[in-house]
Structure 1
Amino acid sequence: MGRRLAIGDVQGCWHSLQHLLDVMNCSADDQLWLAGDLCNRGTGSLEVLRFCRQRQVTAVLGNHDLHLLACYFNAADSHRKDTLAAVLAAPDIRDIVDWLLAQPLVVVEGDCWMAHAGRWPGFSMPEWQRLAGDTQRAWQADPEAFFRQMYGNHPAHLDDARSDAERWRFCVNASTRMRVLDADLRLNLAFKGELAERPAGSNAWFDYPCPEDGIRLGVFGHWAALGAGRPRPDLVALDSGCVWGSGLTALDLDSAEWHHVATDPRDLND
């Protein structure tokens, strides 16, 4: 049985990813956990996605991965800083899309969970898994319709959802975009900066207690301004901002050994 190696937001940084795997002496027996945002902004999104699909990594989807799917299904336009053109024009794009559609919003294995942005404190683990599963089945059943209604900041709280589409949107936002919450656990999705600069009356999502469920460790990425580390003893933050030149980080989930490599300049889309 190999190691479980959790890796932060790759965002198309193909050369940095290969360097990190070399530094960790990664073997075919090792299980790679990718915390979402596999693609976009770096120069090697196509290579990263092909590797992840062929390697059959354990991955969750991040907001950039969902954006790629929305672009493919003509539910969103490309942004100026996107680096997805080569992916969308690839001859194997349908295979990549099918693989992405099969990836979840949350992974729970043994006493560990992983999601791109984190765990909304209002969720019990069974409730989160049920809603995330419903959301994934919805995008698999009718991806064009799903991605057309995915975008938006409402509802900010699950209790405000009045339809399946709104519950799915909340699950996507909480699992892939969340950083800070207001005191009543409402998502504040406008904030993207450093924790010390958070709006008055809000706190990081991990500053609120989650229901007890016996889970030992949670793994997330997404918040580059937070950096890699342990914001709580039971949480691992992995986004060290590789695409911003701050390197790529991994953690051995079983030995608690950290690994870090500098960003390869070839990955930066200047």
Structure 2
Amino acid sequence: MARYFVGDIQGCYEELMRLLLRVDFHPSRDELWAVGDLVARGPESHKVLGFFTSLGDAAKAVLGNHDLHLLAIQAGLKRPKPSDKLKKLLESKHLPGFIHWVRHQPLMRELPEHKLIMTHAGVPPQWDLPTLREEASEVNKVLMSDTYLDLIGSMYTEEPESWDPDASGFLRHRYCIDALTRMRFLYLDGRLDFACKKPPADCEGLALKPWFEFPSKLDDFTLVFGHWAALMGKTDNPRRIALDTGCCWGEDLTLWHLETGEKITQKKLK
């Protein structure tokens, strides 16, 4: 069995198919791990979700910020932007099934035998593995409940910026969502920054550091993530595997083969 990890697909269905053809992916023997943001920006989000829901247990996705935003749009809590390119998905007869599938995807996955963790944006450096498991699990329980839209409606704020182990309810859940699906830079005191989306070299002098440059309680784990296209897959840390290489922005879609460590890329198709 081969395990392939793919960066932010964002509706880039044809590029995904070309990558999987090149590695002879087959769901009867292989697994496809996706770092989230399966939908939006690219032209065929409906086909991407159709493909993933067809894979059964061979699909191992986590939720990204655009996947969560889809839940808000589908419920009428937010309006889609033209840049989201979700019209075909929102008009699909399969949309209820797709929404059900998205709601049942976790915020984190792990391979204990490889000491590997996958989230969309990263893991707060102050969290250990039990904390990550607990916080992600609590959010996922809410997303799978009948009251999940209360949480979705509360997401659209940039508070809290800091982790508070004594917080409860939506305040606690929002930090988990923001950290695992939106995090890029942290202030030097560990607070989340939501403004800078540039490469680290372009943000020097702003009292910010990439989250993966802080000492972490998970330093000996491999963390696989996406979300930050400006990194173009570079972290200078072999245990921090960045896979968002900006396919929806005209760059590449990247596939990482866990067993060999090889990265395979497909240029955005015109």
Which TM class, normalised by the smaller chain length? over 0.9
Work out the percentage of aligned pairs sharing the same amino acid: 35
TM-superposed deviation, 1:163: 3.3
**How far apart are the structure 1 equivalents of 2:211 and 2:30?**
31
- Which residue of structure 1 aligns with residue 213 of structure 2? 207
Q: Deviations over 1:180-229 (max 9, x none)?
A: 000111000111112112261110000001114753x1100000001114
**How far apart are the structure 1 equivalents of 2:220 and 2:168?**
31
- Which residue of structure 2 aligns with residue 173 of structure 1? 178
Q: Is the Cα–Cα contact under 8 Å of residues 218 and 234 in structure 1 kept in the other structure? A: yes
Q: Is the Cα–Cα contact under 8 Å of residues 231 and 237 in structure 1 kept in the other structure? A: no
**How far apart are the structure 2 equivalents of 1:89 and 1:104?**
25
Structure 1 residue runs without a partner (length 5+): 266-270
For structure 1, which segment, 173-182 or 142-151, has the greater mean C-alpha deviation from structure 2 after superposition? 142-151
- Which of 85, 88, 96 matches 1:86? 88
**How far apart are the structure 2 equivalents of 1:213 and 1:262?**
32
Structure 2 residue runs without a partner (length 5+): none
Matches within 5 A, 1:49-60: 49-56=49-56, 57-60=59-62
Q: Deviations over 1:22-60 (max 9, x none)?
A: 111212211101010001010010000110111131000
**How far apart are the structure 2 equivalents of 1:160 and 1:200?**
27
- Which residue of structure 2 aligns with residue 235 of structure 1? 240
- Which residue of structure 1 aligns with residue 44 of structure 2? 44
- Which residue of structure 1 aligns with residue 140 of structure 2? 136
**How far apart are the structure 2 equivalents of 1:202 and 1:230?**
15
Distance 1:151 1:99, change over 3 A: same
- Which residue of structure 2 aligns with residue 99 of structure 1? 101
Matches within 5 A, 1:256-267: 256-265=261-270
Q: Is the Cα–Cα contact under 8 Å of residues 125 and 218 in structure 2 kept in the other structure? A: no
- Which of 94, 109, 116 matches 1:112? 116
**What root-mean-square deviation, in Å, do the aligned CA atoms of Structure 1 and Structure 2 show?**
1.4
TM-superposed deviation, 1:264: 1.4
- Report the secondary structure of 1:219's partner residue: strand
**How far apart are the structure 2 equivalents of 1:194 and 1:228?**
11
Q: Is the Cα–Cα contact under 8 Å of residues 10 and 45 in structure 2 kept in the other structure? A: yes
- Which residue of structure 1 aligns with residue 78 of structure 2? 76
Please, what TM-score do these two structures have when normalized by structure 2? Answer: 0.94
- Which residue of structure 2 aligns with residue 30 of structure 1? 30
**How far apart are the structure 2 equivalents of 1:125 and 1:181?**
20
Q: Deviations over 1:205-260 (max 9, x none)?
A: 00001114753x11000000011144312110001100011111111111101111
Code of the residue aligned with 1:6 in structure 2: it is: F
Please, what TM-score do these two structures have when normalized by structure 1? Answer: 0.94
**How far apart are the structure 1 equivalents of 2:196 and 2:152?**
23
Q: Is the Cα–Cα contact under 8 Å of residues 74 and 144 in structure 1 kept in the other structure? A: no
**Any runs of at least 4 consecutive aligned residues in structure 1 with deviations exceeding 3 A, and if so which?**
160-163
- Which residue of structure 2 aligns with residue 126 of structure 1? 130
Code of the residue aligned with 1:139 in structure 2: it is: L
Matches within 5 A, 1:215-226: 215=221, 217-226=222-231
